[in-house]
Amino acid sequence: MDNAFVPYQFGYDYGIGVKSATGGRMQMGAKGSPTPIQGASGGSGGFQMVQILQTSELEDHLGISADASGGVGLFSASDRFNFARDCKIQTNSIALLLTCTQLNGFVQITQPVLDEAAAALVSNGQMDLFTQRYGDCFVAGLESGGQFFGVIRIDVRSEEDHQTIENSLSGAYGPFSADVGVKVQSALAQTQSTAETFIYYEGGNVQTKPQTPQQLFAAADEWSHSVLQAPKPYTALLLPWIIADGPNPPNAADLDHQRDVLKTCARLRSQVIDRLNLIEYMVDPMHTGEFLIGPRDADRLSQLHNAVSNDYDMIQNAASFAIDNAKQAVEPETYARTIKNLANYSLTVLPPDLPKRVDGSNIKVPDFSKAPDWTTLNSLANTNHLTLHYVSANPSQPYQFVSQDPAATIPVAAGATVTVYGIGQPPQPHVINSLIFRRPAMVAHR
């Protein structure tokens, strides 16, 4: 394996062996003097506000995604993973992430070597026993200080409200400033949307659980003032044993294959969590009124939820099998077909015709043939939150409506483009009125 920065786990210490598949600690096997890295200390950090659209993005920030973790410990018990799952990210809501990393220092063993017991196993050629005792990598360095993660999930009632909040917060992302809280509160009041808050932190201390965005920002401020007095290690650097004059694992190729499979399982798990979050949001009694859900839709959503839940379990089982059987590790669909004997199994894909929102995302296209002029055409489009695109076959001819796409009464999303095809240019009422008003004056002058 390559170098990997992974979340700190209880029991990690300099020189501790680690089994990369689970991230679990093994026996102490390396020694050396932990040394601060010059220039990697001194309380660096700062708050950032970003928008997140998928669970995988939140996992990236938490350092537990397939890419961020190097494939280490993806399916071990993790408070960070529980936090990501509890936030229930899905596309009908707007999720804002407030994050800060306070780096007090990075310390590592600069010249690690095997301790006497581990070196004896290598000298005796007992490579399998070495791996059983010490895993395939070890903790070479630790970052200390703290991390703070706060998520505000804004549940909007319509696509129109969604766009309003998006627009009002578009300039709030990046380094956190005092006016961000004002913008969030203003956006909530303007659209009468609701917000739920979640926090997770390592190092520092927060006395109360915030219930509102303003309380979350206050909690972040409280954490920032406490973390210097209560720092903790939050990231560990793992190196392969060969760096400490130890052996490569006897099954190094199998372990690489295992990590690849576990990474795939983790990516698929994130996608399945997003699907579950989306369905659960739709069927939540707090939100069902926002969607056009008929009796058949209710049954279909229930069946979809069962299918996607089964996908989640299958991914977990495939990952567990991969951890126990590095050489035979396979991805979830292959695992289901070959190990579980489910010949036709495939992961569930959500259909494109899921229930639409009652307001905003299920707008019925108006009949543009009834509009006699350009102003009326635009008024129809604006009133229904649509974008008008006019195409003329012969601009020099008198105006005549020919057709429109999509047709009248077709449901579309807010902001969708409706193309009107016509002959000539739609007249401008104010120009016509001007000519009618001036004509008698011109005749009188004659």
User: Which pLDDT band, with edges at 50, 70 and 90, does 43 fall under?
Assistant: low
- Classify residue 146 by its DSSP letter: E
pTM, 2 dp:
0.78
Q: What is the pLDDT of residues 51-91, one digit of tens each?
A: 999 999 999 999 999 989 889 999 998 999 999 999 999 98
Q: Is 305 left (phi over 0), alpha (psi -120 to 50) or beta?
A: alpha
Question: How many whole angstroms separate alpha carbon 57 and alpha carbon 66?
Answer: 11
Question: How many whole angstroms separate alpha carbon 270 and alpha carbon 236?
Answer: 23
| pLDDT at 195 (0 to 100) | 93
Q: What is the pLDDT of residues 203-234, one digit of tens each?
A: 999 998 899 999 999 999 999 999 989 999 99
- Classify residue 242 by its DSSP letter: G
User: Which pLDDT band, with edges at 50, 70 and 90, does 45 fall under?
Assistant: low
Percent of the residues in the chain that have a pLDDT greater than 90, as a whole number: 64
User: Which pLDDT band, with edges at 50, 70 and 90, does 180 fall under?
Assistant: confident
Q: Where are the domains of the chain?
A: 4-250, 251-354, 363-445
Assigned architecture for domain 363-445: 2-Layer Sandwich (3.30)
Range with the poorest average pLDDT among 32-36, 107-111, 375-379: 375-379
Query: Mean pLDDT, the chain, as a whole number?
Result: 88
Q: What is the pLDDT of residues 84-99, one digit of tens each?
A: 999 999 988 999 999 9
Residue 126 backbone dihedrals phi, psi, to 5 degrees: -90, 65
Q: What is the pLDDT of residues 22-40, one digit of tens each?
A: 999 999 999 999 998 765 5
- Whether 17 has a pLDDT exceeding 90, the answer reads yes
